[in-house]
């Protein structure tokens, strides 16, 4: 399958492209700057498309079979970009997917979106935006999987996770390497038992494939 990776130049996104290069799928890497193209090709992207989430990026969906949305405005911008990128960028991606007949949509979300009011003032706009995007995804006809990782770390891939559709009681002092999150996002693409599900994920004790199979 051709998998459109939105946010491919990001820290998780680059790991997704690497994972796809080692899988039986092809990565179509969406980046917003010309100077990022060569890096993504070197990481193994079969195709790189230049597009910006704040503009029309529908062309990126041509010839695509599935989408992984892993973009985000990041902590250095304000709530305006949280709205236009984390929320509206994701909603536009869902609409383009529907218009272009791309059925499968994997959304990188976050723990804490179950209750944004509990997230603290600085996190609240982000958690509200992500929760709203997740809720809108449920109303589409897309075959979605919403993956909500805990705090991300830059440690090496462990291959061991804990995943739950019930939500963790606490994720205090816990995290998950970005490389494991990328592995999970790629692994769910063709696992039908994860279709139309939302789950939280942290680093854990269970081999990733087994943990996903039990969802």
What are the phi and psi torsion angles at 97 (to 5°)? -60, -45
The residue behind tokens 């449920």 is 138
Q: Which two tokens stand for residue 1?
A: 């399958």
Q: Is 74 in the site for ligand NAP (CB under 6 A)?
A: yes
Choosing from 70, 137, 142, 198, the residue that interacts with ligand NAP (CB under 6 A) is: 70
- Residue 108 Cβ, how far from ligand NAP at the closest point, in Å? 5
Residue from the set 3, 4, 5, 7 that interacts with ligand NAP by CB under 6 A: 7
Tell whether residue 197 is a contact of ligand NAP (CB under 6 A).
Answer: no
In the bound complex, what is the minimum distance in angstroms from residue 40's beta carbon to ligand NAP? 10
Asked whether position 92 contacts ligand NAP by CB under 6 A, the answer is no
Q: Which residue of 54, 65, 114, 162 would you call a contact of ligand NAP, by CB under 6 A? A: 54
Is residue 198 within the footprint of ligand NAP (CB under 6 A)?
A: no
Active-site residue flag, 144? no
Closest by CA to 110, choosing from 118, 98, 99, 101, is 118
User: Contact, 20 vs 44, CB < 8 A?
Assistant: yes
Quick note: the x/- pattern for ligand NAP over 19-48, rule CB under 6 A, is -------------xx---------------
> Contact with ligand NAP (CB under 6 A): which of 5, 12, 66, 142?
12
Q: Tell me the C-alpha distance between 18 and 8, whole Å.
A: 10
- Name the residue nearer to ligand NAP (CB basis): 142 or 201: 201
Catalogue the active-site residues.
126
Q: What residues make contact with ligand NAP under the rule CB under 6 A?
A: 7, 9-13, 32-33, 52-54, 70-74, 85, 108, 110, 149, 151-152, 178
């Amino acid at each position: 399958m051709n998998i459109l990776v939105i946010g491919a130049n990001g820290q998780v996104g680059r790991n997704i492209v690497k994972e796809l290069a080692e899988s039986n799928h092809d990565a179509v890497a969406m980046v917003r700057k010309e100077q990022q193209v060569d890096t993504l090709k070197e990481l193994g992207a079969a195709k790189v498309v230049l597009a910006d989430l704040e503009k029309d990026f529908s062309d990126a969906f041509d010839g695509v079979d599935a989408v992984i949305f892993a973009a985000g405005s990041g902590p250095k911008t304000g709530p305006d970009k949280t709205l236009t990128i984390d929320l509206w960028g994701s909603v536009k991606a869902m609409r383009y997917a529907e218009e272009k007949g791309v059925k499968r949509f994997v959304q990188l979300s976050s723990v804490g979106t179950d209750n944004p009011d509990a997230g603290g003032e600085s996190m609240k706009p982000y958690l509200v935006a992500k929760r709203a995007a997740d809720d809108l995804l449920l109303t589409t006809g897309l075959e979605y999987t919403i993956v909500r990782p805990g705090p991300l770390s830059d440690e090496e891939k462990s291959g061991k996770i804990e995943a739950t559709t019930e939500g963790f009681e606490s994720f205090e002092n816990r995290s998950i390497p970005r490389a494991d999150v990328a592995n999970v996002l790629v692994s769910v693409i063709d696992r039908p038992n994860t279709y139309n599900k939302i789950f939280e994920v942290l680093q854990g004790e269970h081999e990733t494939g087994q943990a996903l199979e039990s969802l």
